[in-house]
Amino acid sequence: MKRRKVIGLFLLALGFLIVGCNPEAGADERKEQEVIVFAAASLAEAFTEIANQFEIEHPGSTVVLNFAGSQQLTHQLSQGAPADVFASANKQQMDAAIETGRVMEGSQQPFVRNQLVVVYPASNPGKLQNLTDLAQPGLRLIVAAPEVPAGQYAQSFLSAAGQNDSFGPTFRNGVLDNIVSYEENVRAVLSKIALGEADGGIVYISDLNGQAARQVGSLAIPGELTMVADYPIAPVNNSDENDFALSFIEFVLSNQGQEILQSFGFLPVRSSQ
């Protein structure tokens, strides 16, 4: 008898556990006005503000935000994570999401642009005056890993500069020799520059707001050398609230949404604005 009791109690606990963890049960409890947005880490501040404004414009709505590296978000989508909107930091990850079938081909559209910028600690220990100084021997530079979008853009900047007369052919290798770390995300680059751990680094212009911006100086990279990063946004398939997902995307593309993005350092996607 005792044994049965133990097993019974145990099965009961297991039952609760299964019911509690069942994703379907969770989905039923989702509020009608909820929209789940998967957005690239670099959008964190801007999308938090956009979500606030959206909730004011659409009373009763709740925006649930999930920020991570774009590639991680794509992995989560491919594993079936519930989502209504996907905003990626580059085309590759949006394409990967389309490949998994979670995003419909053709439904994606660019909503914002970003650019790279060279940053250095406010005290400028490497005495950086212009971009060519980055190749000076003995400097310590950090960039994002080539696996993440910001790192890819940094690599293509170096290649483009190497073919440019004002930098010369030795520029690219000179810079690569100075790199001491390939960080796993672009915000880590900024934090370590702000701490003064390296003489220079490459981040997005949009990263230069908030507290870190006051601790670093920056050198602009000419537009012809840095591939402008277009961020695509799209509704996620098999979301039962697609209408609402679409109105969120509409809001991001509206004048109000674009203004918020610009106030966080992003560049508008439409030339008319």
Partner 1 sequence: MRTKQDNEQSNRHRPVKQATSIWRDPWWISSLPFLLFLAIPLVAMLLSISPGQLIENLSKPQVRQAITISLKTTTITTLLTIIFGTPVAYILARRQFPMRRAIDTLIDLPIVLPPAVAGVALLITFGRQGVIGGWLSDQGIHIAFTQIAVIMAQTFVAAPFYVKAATIGFAAVDAEIEQAAAIDGAGTWQSFRHVTVPLAWAAMLSGAVMTWARALGEFGATILFAGNYLGRTQTMPLAIYIGFELDLDVALTLAAILVVLSFLVLFVVKGILQRELYAVGR
d(CA 140, CA 181): 9
Regarding 16 and contact with partner 1 (CB under 8 A), the answer is no
What is the footprint of partner 1 within residues 115-144 (CB under 8 A)? Answer: 125, 140, 142
Which residue among 34, 49, 55, 184 contacts partner 1 (CB under 8 A)? 184
Structural contact between residues 54 and 251, judged by C-beta atoms closer than 8 angstroms: yes
x/- contact string, 18-57, with partner 1 (CB under 8 A)? Answer: ----------------------------------------
CB of 172 to partner 1, least distance (A): 17
CB of 155 to partner 1, least distance (A): 13
x/- contact string, 74-113, with partner 1 (CB under 8 A)? Answer: -x--------------------------------------
Regarding 7 and contact with partner 1 (CB under 8 A), the answer is yes
DSSP letter string, 151-214: HHHHHHHHHHHHTSTTT-TTHHHHHHHHEEEEESSHHHHHHHHHTTSSSEEEEEGGG--SHHHH
Place of tokens 């751990």: 197
Compute the C-alpha angle 90/43/134, nearest 5°.
70
x/- contact string, 236-255, with partner 1 (CB under 8 A)? Answer: --------------------
Regarding 217 and contact with partner 1 (CB under 8 A), the answer is no
d(CA 271, CA 260): 16
Beta bridge partners of 183: 144
Residue whose CB is less far from partner 1, 195 or 228: 195
Residue whose CB is less far from partner 1, 19 or 56: 19
CB of 67 to partner 1, least distance (A): 15
Longest dimension (CA), the chain: 87
Residue whose CB is less far from partner 1, 203 or 260: 203
Which residue among 27, 180, 220, 228 contacts partner 1 (CB under 8 A)? 180
| Alpha helix (H) residue ranges in the chain | 2-21, 23-29, 44-57, 70-78, 91-100, 149-162, 171-178, 186-194, 211-214, 242-253, 255-263
Closest CA to 88 of 43, 123, 130, 119: 43
Which residues lie near partner 1 (CB under 8 A)? 2-3, 6-7, 10, 14, 69, 71-72, 75, 125, 140, 142, 145-148, 179-184, 188, 192, 195-198
